[in-house]
């Protein structure tokens, strides 16, 4: 990567920002930092990054696209940010998102929606919730961006912006300093246009972190390294649950073309059924709002963040005047989450969803050849190494139609993640690869838990 | 493609979006040709629209419940559009309530704690390792654990002499 390219990326940002609303805060000293670091030989020297604005940084505010944290300045860097800086990365700015990561269209931001740079003349959604991260990469403002993926929030916007979006196995990249939405699902992911950059960034971030109690232990990392060896020809499954009536013939044909090329390379294909995949959306929308409720209970304005002007109590409800600053989608999910956690409904909703999640994880174990190092499944000898599907059922919609569908029912927006959620629930490593140049849809490639290398090695051979 | 036919019979979603009891994850026989793959891709075993198919007939949650939820959420009741919240919560609930109709195989043997993406059979902490963990615990300045290493009230919009401040009475005026 050259200093010249890096400088031209940073200089393009003001114009791109005006057109697509990619960033929430831009670092005015990024150019100077680049030049100051120019002679250092580090693994990621001369790389410019965008960081999703729910990942804390010392030198720029971290807003989560919310009025409630509009001017919040963290006293520390997230572990992933610190590692990037130590590896020589210059951070251009904090990217726009759906408030607190809640959304799939990139429209629920206090700072306005992100527009998709693939469509310079129409207002099309960039996908969410890592909308700005995907748009920053697609527009060429950065070499790569960090996003977070709770139910598809890296992969979906990556697909809609025709870039690569990788959600590693849960626990591989530290969540320390990543503002929690649903901690049992939240995963830091990487978006980029090319595999070499994506891989280098992943190698820097793929480390145990003692500050994160859910970080994958060194012992398990070693175990995974030993178990999952480089494979030549792969056994690839096509789950029938991802073949949908609503997928247009054009995209089906592109998907078929993709598979044909892989068959020509000698990979073997298998039909696969994972029936519980169909239950993913209701499982997810029971569990994630419940976790969000407890994670968002801390926002009271007392110790940090936005605070109501005159009072901290309203009609007997503490902190309500400040918490009224949450956006509507966030409020809707908090209300639902509290419903799910109430004693009357907890057993029927939350516990049932958790049991079904275990069932889904077990179903995935049934079809993968490799063992699962956390569930201790031994692996299925006649199973597959990878599964593939489209990342979404179709391309992104206009901001206008997305908004009007969302206004008519909150559940319309939920459906966008129907293909990405199963992998989130099972914590599986998944990469969305564009179906072609500037095609706003991707193919998802998924492997067994902790077998991230097979996904990345596979993509190394087929991308570009 | 006999595999697909067989599976779709066994695993067909009934109209109310619940799975039949015997459904299991399975890998079928290897595709022998591109034509077979193409035929397979042409199959549609279900549609995402099934999620919404029966979302309209549900009863809306009552206003008292919505008021209670708003209070639990720390959100204002006055000035909030309770009717809008009822409608939206109703739609959310009819979406997730489909879970109730999904049977769980081996319900008794499934431990919901395994839903966490953490090792299922952790080695228990031994007495020695417990003592060792205690002995090696230390305050990490990067976590701000060292006394006085940062001003913990510096981010508050309102404070008094290094105290956080709550207006309106913690013990009074509360429900």
Q: What is the pLDDT of residues A159-208, one digit of tens each?
A: 999 999 999 999 999 999 999 999 999 999 999 999 999 999 999 999 99
**Residue of chain B whose Cα is closest to the Cα of A314:** B76
Give residue-wise pLDDT tens across range A125-167: 999 999 999 999 999 999 999 999 999 999 999 999 999 999 9
Residue B110 lies in a domain: no
Which band of pLDDT confidence, cut at 50, 70 and 90, is reported for residue B108? Answer: confident
pTM of structure: 0.95
User: Which range is least confidently modeled, A99-103, A108-112, B1-5, B146-150?
Assistant: B1-5
| Mean of pLDDT over chain B | 82
Q: Do B74 and A300 touch (CB under 8 A)?
A: yes
Instruction: With a cut of 50, say whether residue A100 has pLDDT above it.
Output: yes
Residue B134 lies in a domain: no
Q: Give the dihedral sign, CA A35/A37/A40/A45.
A: negative
Helical residues (DSSP H) of A78-194, grouped into ranges: 79-86, 131-139, 155-160
- CA dist A231 and A456 (Å) reads 12
Instruction: With a cut of 80, say whether residue B7 has pLDDT above it.
Output: no
Do B74 and B97 have their domain in common? yes
Q: Tell me, what's the pLDDT at B22?
A: 43
- CA dist B168 and A318 (Å) reads 9
Q: Tell me, what's the pLDDT at B58?
A: 62
Residue B135 lies in a domain: no
Mean pLDDT of A208-232: 95
Domain boundary among B59, B74, B104: B104
Q: Tell me, what's the pLDDT at B11?
A: 38
Nearest-10 Cα torsion for A268, A273, A278, A281: -40
CB A415 within 8 A of CB A269: no
- How far is B109 from chain A, CA to nearest CA, in Å? 10
Mean pLDDT of A390-401: 96
Q: Tell me, what's the pLDDT at B122?
A: 84
Which band of pLDDT confidence, cut at 50, 70 and 90, is reported for residue B46? Answer: confident
Give residue-wise pLDDT tens across range A5-57: 999 999 999 999 999 999 999 999 999 999 998 899 999 999 999 999 999 99
Domain boundary among B87, B104, B121: B104
Give residue-wise pLDDT tens across range A261-275: 999 999 999 999 999
Query: Largest Cα–Cα distance of chain B, in whole Å?
Result: 76
- How far is B2 from chain A, CA to nearest CA, in Å? 11
Which residues of A, range 262-301, sit inside 8 Å of B by Cβ?
263, 268-276, 278-279, 281-283, 285-287, 293, 297, 300-301
Q: Tell me, what's the pLDDT at B175?
A: 59
Tell me, yes or no, if A52 is annotated catalytic. Answer: yes
A192 beta partners: A144, A164
Do B17 and B51 have their domain in common? no
Burial of A336 (C-beta count, 10 Å sphere; 0-12/13-18/19+): buried
**Cβ-proximal residues to A205 (8 Å cutoff; 6+ apart), any chain:** A80, A83, A84, A172, A173, A174, A188, A190
Q: In what order do the strands lie in the sheet with A386-390?
A: A23-26, A90-95, A48-52, A144-149, A187-192, A164-167, A430-434, A442-447, A386-390, A235-239, A268-273, B26-27
Using the Cβ of B70 and the Cβ atoms of chain A, whether some distance falls under 8 Å is answered with yes
- CA dist A227 and A220 (Å) reads 10
SS3 call for A90:
strand
Architecture of domain A1-463: Alpha-Beta Complex (3.90)
How far is CA A172 from each of CA A183, A278, B113, rounded to the nearest angstrom?
Answer: 14, 27, 21
Mean pLDDT of B30-36: 97
**Region of residue A396 (phi > 0: left; psi between -120 and 50: alpha; otherwise: beta):** beta
Nearest to B87 by CA among B69, B64, B63, B68: B63
Q: What pairing do the DSSP bridges indicate for beta strands A235-239 and A386-390? A: parallel
| Mean of pLDDT over chain A | 96
Identify the residue among B6, B73, B145 best suited for mutation to test binding to A, counting A beta carbons within 10 A and taking the highest.
B73
- CA dist A194 and A434 (Å) reads 11
CB B88 within 8 A of CB A332: yes
Which band of pLDDT confidence, cut at 50, 70 and 90, is reported for residue B170? Answer: low
More confident residue, B98 or A422: A422
Q: Do B118 and A374 touch (CB under 8 A)?
A: yes
Token digits for B167?
């207006």
CB A200 within 8 A of CB A43: yes
How far is CA B169 from each of CA A51, A298, B88, B155, B174, rounded to the nearest angstrom?
Answer: 40, 19, 33, 22, 8
Nearest to A318 by CA among B152, B79, B171: B171
Cis peptide before A129 (omega within 30 of 0): yes
Instruction: With a cut of 50, say whether residue B15 has pLDDT above it.
Output: no
Q: How many domains does chain B have?
A: 2
CB A114 within 8 A of CB A28: no
**Residue of chain B whose Cα is closest to the Cα of A322:** B75
- CA dist A371 and A379 (Å) reads 4
Nearest-10 Cα torsion for A260, A387, B14, B58: -120
A368 beta partners: A384
Q: Tell me, what's the pLDDT at A1?
A: 72
- Containing domain of residue B59, as a range? 47-104
- CA dist B75 and A297 (Å) reads 11
Phi, psi of A152 (to 5 degrees): 140, 5
Burial of A416 (C-beta count, 10 Å sphere; 0-12/13-18/19+): buried
Which band of pLDDT confidence, cut at 50, 70 and 90, is reported for residue B45? Answer: confident
Selected catalytic residue, list A45, A133, A153, A377: A153
Which residues of B, range 75-134, sit inside 8 Å of A by Cβ?
75-79, 85, 88-89, 91-93, 95-100, 102, 104-105, 107, 110-121
How far is CA A228 from each of CA A173, A215, B146, rounded to the nearest angstrom?
Answer: 19, 19, 41
Q: How many CB atoms lie within 10 A of CB A46?
A: 20
User: Which range is least confidently modeled, A70-84, A342-356, A371-385, B130-144?
Assistant: A342-356
Do B34 and B69 have their domain in common? no
Chain A with chain B: Cβ pairs closer than 8 A: 292
Q: Tell me, what's the pLDDT at B172?
A: 59
Helical residues (DSSP H) of A228-327, grouped into ranges: 249-264, 280-295, 320-323
Token digits for A290?
């419940």
């Amino acid at each position: 990567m050259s200093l010249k390219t890096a400088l031209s990326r940073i200089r393009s940002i003001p114009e791109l920002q005006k057109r697509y609303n990619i960033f929430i805060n831009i670092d005015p000293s990024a150019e100077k930092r680049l030049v100051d670091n120019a002679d250092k030989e580090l693994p990621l020297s001369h790389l410019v990054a965008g960081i999703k604005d729910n990942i804390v940084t010392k030198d720029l505010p971290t807003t989560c696209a919310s009025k409630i944290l509009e001017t919040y300045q963290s006293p520390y860097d997230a572990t992933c940010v610190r590692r990037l800086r130590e590896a020589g990365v210059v951070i251009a700015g904090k990217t726009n998102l759906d408030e607190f990561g809640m959304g799939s269209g990139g429209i629920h931001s206090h700072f306005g929606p992100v527009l998709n740079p693939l469509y310079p003349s129409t207002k099309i959604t960039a996908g969410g919730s890592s909308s700005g991260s995907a748009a920053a990469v697609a527009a060429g403002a950065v070499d790569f961006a960090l996003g977070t993926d709770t139910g598809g929030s890296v992969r979906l916007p990556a697909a809609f912006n025709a870039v690569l979006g990788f959600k590693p196995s849960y626990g591989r990249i530290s969540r320390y300093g990543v503002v929690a939405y649903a901690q049992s699902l939240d995963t830091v992911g990487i978006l980029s246009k090319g595999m070499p950059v994506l891989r280098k960034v992943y190698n820097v971030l793929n480390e145990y972190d003692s500050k994160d109690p859910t970080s994958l232990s060194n012992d398990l990392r070693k175990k995974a390294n030993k178990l999952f060896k480089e494979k030549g020809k792969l056994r690839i499954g096509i789950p029938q649950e991802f073949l949908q009536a609503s997928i247009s013939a054009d995209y089906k044909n592109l998907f078929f073309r993709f598979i044909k090329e892989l068959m020509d390379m000698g990979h073997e294909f298998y039909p696969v059924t994972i029936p519980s995949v169909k239950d993913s959306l209701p499982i997810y929308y029971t569990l994630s709002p419940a976790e969000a409720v407890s994670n968002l209970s801390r926002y009271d304005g007392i110790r940090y963040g936005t605070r109501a002007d005159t009072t901290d109590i309203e009609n007997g409800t503490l902190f309500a005047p400040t918490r009224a600053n949450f956006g509507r989608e966030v409020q809707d999910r908090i209300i639902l989450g509290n419903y799910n956690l109430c004693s009357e409904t907890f057993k029927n909703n939350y516990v049932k969803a958790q049991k079904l999640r275990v069932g889904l994880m077990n179903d995935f174990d049934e079809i993968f050849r490799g063992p699962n190092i956390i569930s201790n499944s031994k692996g299925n000898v006649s199973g597959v190494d990878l599964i593939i599907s489209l990342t979404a059922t179709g391309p992104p919609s206009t901001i206008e139609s997305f908004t009007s569908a969302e206004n008519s029912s909150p559940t319309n927006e939920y459906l966008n993640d129907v293909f990405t959620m199963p992998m989130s629930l099972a914590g599986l490593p998944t990469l969305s690869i564009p179906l072609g140049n500037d095609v706003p849809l991707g193919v998802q490639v998924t492997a067994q838990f902790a077998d991230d290398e097979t996904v990345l090695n596979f993509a190394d051979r087929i991308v570009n | 493609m006999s595999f697909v036919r067989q599976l779709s019979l066994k695993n067909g979603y009934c109209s109310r979006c619940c799975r039949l009891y015997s459904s299991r994850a399975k890998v079928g026989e290897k595709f022998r040709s591109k034509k077979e793959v193409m035929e397979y891709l042409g199959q549609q075993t279900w549609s995402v629209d099934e999620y919404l198919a029966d979302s309209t007939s549900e009863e809306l949650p009552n206003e008292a419940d919505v008021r209670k939820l708003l209070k639990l959420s720390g959100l204002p009741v006055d000035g909030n559009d309770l009717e809008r919240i009822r409608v939206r919560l109703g739609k959310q609930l009819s979406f997730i309530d489909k879970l109730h109709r999904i049977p769980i195989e081996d319900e008794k043997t499934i431990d919901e704690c395994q839903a966490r993406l953490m090792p299922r059979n952790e080695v228990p902490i031994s007495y020695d390792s417990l003592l060792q963990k205690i002995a090696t615990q230390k305050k990490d300045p990067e976590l701000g654990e060292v006394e006085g290493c940062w001003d913990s009230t510096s981010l508050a919009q309102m404070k008094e002499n290094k105290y956080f401040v709550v207006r309106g009475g913690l013990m009074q005026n509360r429900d």
